[in-house]
């Protein structure tokens, strides 16, 4: 039996706020200057965190053809690093960001980026008034399913998301998706600390679940696993947090700082050991004749 949409939205919002509303100033201490809170894209041992994060943003921007886009949707926009690039670098006339964190939405809105709007909404309740040339979703997909969902229910949630994205895209539009995924580890082997104290009520996808959910809706035109990039990113964050531990403790207290230090250490270890992976996927909708207008959700 599927979980009611309203229940799922409420749970997701509470879980995201538990993690992301610790305080913008706390995250500012150890993220890079763009407040990009997702896996960077590393190409050289000499890369700085800032450079690798900029490369990650360019990867997704290039994937959706941002240079030619008129409208772009960012699902899980965080503190707006992608929206900033869409506005300032590519002058996209209209970019829409979705987040479940009021603190993030307030921060992005305060930047005054031209052509950018932010909504504190779940993708389940969002009803766009236009179609988009590109959709980007970085680090949100892992929050869609719950630990109590069966494999079929998880796939149903992912399929619903992908079907909506397909319907929201213009002809020739592209979805660029980035998510953590289970690799050489099952749900049952996952850390209870991570599931309960860091990302409560969230469950990672497996690569097979994503492929199954996309079947008949999207063609996967590119897929890469950059788990070592995320191990390095977490290690960089941990190093930066240690360097400013006193300031972080003054902001949020010793318990929160210790929790984040443990979380970053465990995450880096999980990626290095191959227990979890970091998937970057580029997906394009199949031409409508292939699905004949039938409802492929669920």
pTM, two decimal places: 0.88
**Region 168-185 average pLDDT:** 95
3-state secondary structure of 280: strand
**CA–CA dist 253, 238 (Å, integer):** 17
**CA–CA dist 172, 38 (Å, integer):** 27
Strands (E), 147-295: 169-182, 218-225, 276-285
Parent domain of 121: 5-285
Q: Is 296 within a domain?
A: no
- Structure confidence at residue 189 (pLDDT): 63
pLDDT exceeds cutoff 80 at 294: no
Q: Is 298 within a domain?
A: no
Q: Is 182 within a domain?
A: yes
Neighbours of 191 (CB within 10 A): 16
Q: Is 297 within a domain?
A: no
Q: Is 201 within a domain?
A: yes
CA 201 → CA 11, 145, 192, 218, 289, distances in Å? Answer: 7, 8, 11, 27, 38
**Region 68-87 average pLDDT:** 97
Q: Nearest CA to 116 among 161, 85, 76?
A: 85
Per residue in 102-132, pLDDT tens? 989 999 999 999 999 999 999 999 999 999 9
Q: Is 69 within a domain?
A: yes
Q: How many domains does the chain divide into?
A: 1
CATH of the domain at 66: 3.40.50.150
Q: Is 292 within a domain?
A: no
Q: Nearest CA to 119 among 104, 132, 133, 134?
A: 104
Q: Is 30 within a domain?
A: yes
- Structure confidence at residue 121 (pLDDT): 94
Strands of the sheet with 132-138, listed across from one edge: 116-120, 94-99, 71-75, 132-138, 169-182, 276-285, 218-225
Q: Which two tokens stand for residue 211?
A: 């492929």
Per residue in 16-61, pLDDT tens? 444 445 788 999 999 999 899 999 999 999 999 999 999 999 999 9
Give the CA count within 13 Å in the CB-facing half-sphere of 126.
24
Least confident of 77-81, 262-266, 291-295: 291-295
């Amino acid at each position: 039996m599927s979980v009611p949409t309203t229940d799922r939205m409420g749970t997701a919002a509470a879980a995201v706020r538990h993690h992301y509303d610790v305080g913008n100033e706390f995250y500012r201490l150890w993220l890079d200057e763009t407040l990009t809170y997702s896996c960077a894209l590393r190409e050289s041992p000499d890369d700085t965190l800032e450079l690798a994060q900029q490369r990650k943003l360019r990867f997704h921007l290039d994937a959706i053809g941002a240079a030619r886009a008129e409208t772009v949707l960012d699902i899980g926009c965080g503190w707006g690093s992608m929206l900033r690039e869409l506005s300032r670098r590519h002058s996209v006339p209209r970019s829409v960001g979705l987040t479940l964190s009021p603190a993030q939405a307030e921060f992005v809105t305060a930047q005054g980026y031209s052509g950018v709007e932010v909504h504190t909404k779940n993708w389940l309740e969002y009803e766009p008034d236009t179609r988009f040339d590109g959709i980007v979703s970085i680090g949100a997909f892992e929050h869609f399913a719950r630990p109590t969902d069966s494999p079929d229910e998880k796939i149903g949630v992912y399929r619903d998301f992908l079907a909506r994205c397909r319907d929201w895209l213009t002809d020739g539009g592209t979805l660029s998706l980035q998510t953590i995924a289970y690799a050489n580890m099952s749900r049952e082997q996952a850390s209870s600390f991570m599931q309960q104290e860091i990302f409560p009520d969230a469950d990672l996808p497996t690569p097979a679940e994503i492929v199954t959910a996309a079947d008949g809706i999207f063609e996967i035109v590119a897929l890469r696993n950059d788990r070592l990039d995320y191990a390095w990113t977490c290690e960089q964050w941990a190093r930066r947090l240690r360097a400013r531990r006193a300031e972080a403790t003054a902001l949020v207290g010793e318990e929160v700082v210790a929790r984040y230090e443990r979380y970053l250490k465990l995450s880096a270890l999980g990626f290095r050991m191959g227990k979890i992976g970091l998937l970057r996927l580029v997906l394009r909708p199949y031409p409508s004749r292939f699905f004949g207008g039938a409802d492929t959700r669920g």
